[in-house]
Each structure stands twice: as C-alpha cells, then as structure tokens.
Amino acid sequence: CDYINVIGAGLAGCEAAYQIAKRGIKVRLFEMKPKNYSPAHHLETFAELVCSNSLRSDQLENAVGLLKEEMRMLDSIIMKCADATRVPAGGALAVDRVGFSQKVTELIKGNPDIELINEEVKQLPQEGITIVATGPLTSESLSKSIMELIGEAYLHFFDAAAPIVTFDSINMDKAFRAARYNRGTEDYINCPMNKEEYENFWNELVNAELAEVKDFDREVVFEGCMPVETMAKRGIDTLRFGPLKPVGLIDPNTGSEAYAVVQLRQDNSEGTLYNIVGFQTRLKWPEQKRVFRMIPGLENAEFVRYGVMHRNTFINSPKLLEPSYRMRKNPNIYFAGQITGVEGYVESASSGLVAGINASMQFLGKGDVLFPRTTAIGALSNYISDKNVKDFQPMNVNFGLMEGLGVKIRDKRKKNYEMAQRALQEIRKYCDDRI
C-alpha cells in the first residue's frame, strides 16, 4: 500500500493528513460531507467548528494556550488557518467560522499529496495504515465496524451547542461593548441584567421545555460544555458565578457592574453574527426564542442557529491506544480527535498532529515520536493512553496532566509560565529534521 488512509476531514483528520503529506507520503482522505452530514455539521467545507467559534485562551499561562504554541512550532495547519482567520476575542483565539473552515479546505484540496475521496466509509479499510478521525458523531455503519474491531461498546456523553444571533437584531441601546477587565478592548457585546431581570430569566430558564434527544438516557453531560439550563438548575446564583459573571464589566449606562451579564462573541469576520457565550442548550427551539429574548438587548434577537444537543461517543482509549494514538492490538490503526476522548477543538487537532507524525514514521520504517509529559501535547497523549486511568472521561488539556516542576511556586500564573517555558524548550528539540 503506497498511501495512508485518513477517515474524516474534521479538525483531527485535516491535521493528520497535512502532517503525513508534508513528510512526502501520499494520503487518501475520506470525507462524507456534503453527501451525508452528522446532526451537528452544516458546512460543506472541512474542519467545521460545530459550536463555539472560540479555540479558547491564547495565553501561555493557560494550558490550551500553551498547546496552541506547541502546535504552531510543529507546523500545525489548524493553527495556521486559525491565526489567519482570527476575530477579536480578548485573550482568546476566536475565528471566523466559515473563513477558517474554507482556508483549511483550500490548503488540503490544493495539496498534491492528498487525494480526497468524497464518500462515507462504512467499513474500516483492510489494507495499509489508517487513521480514524471521524469525531464524536461518527456515522452509524462505521461505528459498528469500529465496535467490532475494538471488541467493546463505546463510552459516551452528551454535548450541546449554543445559539447564534444576528448583530442587527441586538439592541445596542441596552447592550454595550467591552472585554472583561478591559483585556482586548470592546471585543464582546454585553447584555447587563439587574436583579429582577436575572431572577425572572432564571425562573423561566429552569422551567422551560426541553427537546427530546435521541438515546438520551441520563444526564451524562460534559462539565466544560454543560447546557445553560442544567447549570442554572444547580442553584439560582450558579450562572452568576459562571458564564453570566458580571465582574470586570462596567456598564457605561450606569457606570457600574450589573447584577449579571450575558456575553456575546463575534462569530464571523464581518461582525454580522454573534454567539451567546456559554448558552449551549437543550431547550426546544421556540423556548430558546422565548426565554433568551428575555435577556436585555436580545428582545428582538433573530436566531440564525438554535442550540442543540448531541450524543458524543468516544472509545476507551487507556485500554486501547498507545501514546502515539496507535492501537495496541492492531498496529495499522490509529485513532485521532474527539473519538479518543481528548476534549475540545485544539486538543482534537493536536491528537491528529501526533497520530499523523507517528503514522508517517511507521510508514517510513522509523521509530515512534513521543512527546514527553513536560509538554502539553505529550501530557494529553499520555493521559488518553494511561492504563492506570480507570473511569475514563474526556479531558481538556490542563497543567495538572503535565509533569510537575519539582519545585514549589505559589503564584499559579508564574508556575504555569515556567511550565510553559520548559515545554516550549522541549518542543524546540523536535523542530529539526528528525521528524
């Protein structure tokens, strides 16, 4: 077999395909869109961001910020395209959703070493090396084929997406532009609420009607992407200490902080669309319109996309995978992306990067390239393949997964910064001809 198969042109699949092709190896990249779509995908183009348009923090003191920097150093296509299509979002890296996806597609389609095969893969290929990067909503027939291969059922949880509204429909007499603590000026639109408005809103939110979700058996939701109504049900003030936190946001109309603030983040570079931050939801669509329009400034909000919830599947990676994302039992099969239990856009792409490099090394008859736990990228691949992890749950990258410094530094920001510097120094060693 003179090529490597990559199934799925999502965040992980595109990154893996790019990493293989840049090492002079031919890739067959399979993507089922636009013939078939998962329930969360809408765009014809690749590397689609299915919910938020934010790739989260871009600061080195934050583990996902560090992961981004490591990936930039390792020539990640996802980071290159994200940097090129960024929209203002304070200390975070948010992108023009459509522009980002188009840019990745352009680079992948324009690569002479990548052959695009526009079809749904129903059975795992029997020949050659294959990277499975079909995401948390892998199509049904392929899911069955994977289950036969791994010999056990999938694990799963439920993940929700937030609604998007048009800028023109936001009442800017009530809403105001500002970034928290003035970090990155005026990047967010803020809808301030007084106590009465907040309590009325909370009351309607916790009592609103929920949509039926296929196979939704019990509330297995991911903490990092919890539906806003689920969080609200934990207590009347939970949202005010979470996504509706008012601190650091001064309302110019009153000169003070409001009781609660709903933030909206720019969703495209033209600034015509905004998503409601933290408002991933399972409410019925008419209920979303009714309840979210109670937010001051959103009285006439026009929803271009409603929030939805989906079943999100992943494999029991600690039992099945090596830190290279290769299967222990079947060395020709790699998994990458959210299906491995890494959680998040950047984390998914990072696993595609590691799987892509290692599939290439295997193809070329060279040894594995394993990043150590002193790096964010290595900490994540070590976590998903750690046989000692028992109740395996999807995980965002975090400093807790990384090897400690061995010295006590009380100031958390300083400690994280030191860990980040150590990581980047380590990654520099991989930026030579060796890989």
Provide the binding-site residues for ligand FAD, judged by CB under 6 A.
7-13, 30-33, 38, 40-41, 50-52, 120-121, 133-139, 142, 159-161, 225, 310, 312, 337-339, 344-345, 348
196: phi then psi, degrees, rounded to nearest 5: -65, -45
Sheet with 176-178, strands from edge to edge, namely 176-178, 188-193, 260-266, 273-276, 164-166, 303-305
Closer CB to ligand FAD, 89 or 258, in the complex: 89
Closer CB to ligand FAD, 56 or 240, in the complex: 56
Closer CB to ligand FAD, 137 or 301, in the complex: 137
Closer CB to ligand FAD, 117 or 361, in the complex: 117
Closer CB to ligand FAD, 40 or 81, in the complex: 40
Q: Closest-CB residue for ligand FAD? A: 10
Which residue, among 86, 54, 110, 434, has the nearest Cα to 277 in the 3D structure? 54
Closer CB to ligand FAD, 57 or 139, in the complex: 139
| Beta carbon of residue 433, minimum distance to ligand FAD (angstroms, whole number) | 28
Total H helices, total E strands in the chain: 12, 18
| Beta carbon of residue 138, minimum distance to ligand FAD (angstroms, whole number) | 5
Closer CB to ligand FAD, 30 or 100, in the complex: 30
Which residue, among 144, 149, 111, 112, has the nearest Cα to 130 in the 3D structure? 149
The CA-based dihedral angle spanning residues 142, 144, 148, 152, taken in that order and rounded to the nearest 10 degrees: 120
| Beta carbon of residue 349, minimum distance to ligand FAD (angstroms, whole number) | 7
| Beta carbon of residue 121, minimum distance to ligand FAD (angstroms, whole number) | 4
**Rounded Cα distance, 222 and 97, in Å:** 23
The CA-based dihedral angle spanning residues 371, 374, 380, 385, taken in that order and rounded to the nearest 10 degrees: 70
| Beta carbon of residue 254, minimum distance to ligand FAD (angstroms, whole number) | 31
| Beta carbon of residue 48, minimum distance to ligand FAD (angstroms, whole number) | 6
| Beta carbon of residue 400, minimum distance to ligand FAD (angstroms, whole number) | 18
**Rounded Cα distance, 3 and 5, in Å:** 7
| Beta carbon of residue 182, minimum distance to ligand FAD (angstroms, whole number) | 25
Residue type, 353: L
Closer CB to ligand FAD, 5 or 362, in the complex: 5
Closer CB to ligand FAD, 258 or 380, in the complex: 380
**Rounded Cα distance, 377 and 365, in Å:** 23
In order, the DSSP letters of 360-425 are HHHHTTPPP----TTSHHHHHHHHHT-TT--S---B---GGGSPP-SS----HHHHHHHHHHHHHH
Exposure of 250 by Cβ count < 10 A (0-12 exposed, 13-18 middle, 19+ buried)?
A: middle
Structure tokens at 296: 């001051």
Instruction: Judge whether 225 and 394 are in contact, CB under 8 Å.
Output: no
Element (H, E) at 319: helix 317-320
| Beta carbon of residue 283, minimum distance to ligand FAD (angstroms, whole number) | 14
| Beta carbon of residue 335, minimum distance to ligand FAD (angstroms, whole number) | 9
Element (H, E) at 348: helix 345-363
Closer CB to ligand FAD, 23 or 33, in the complex: 33
In order, the DSSP letters of 85-140 are TEE--TTEEEE-HHHHHHHHHHHHHT-TTEEEE-S---S--SSSEEEE---TT--H
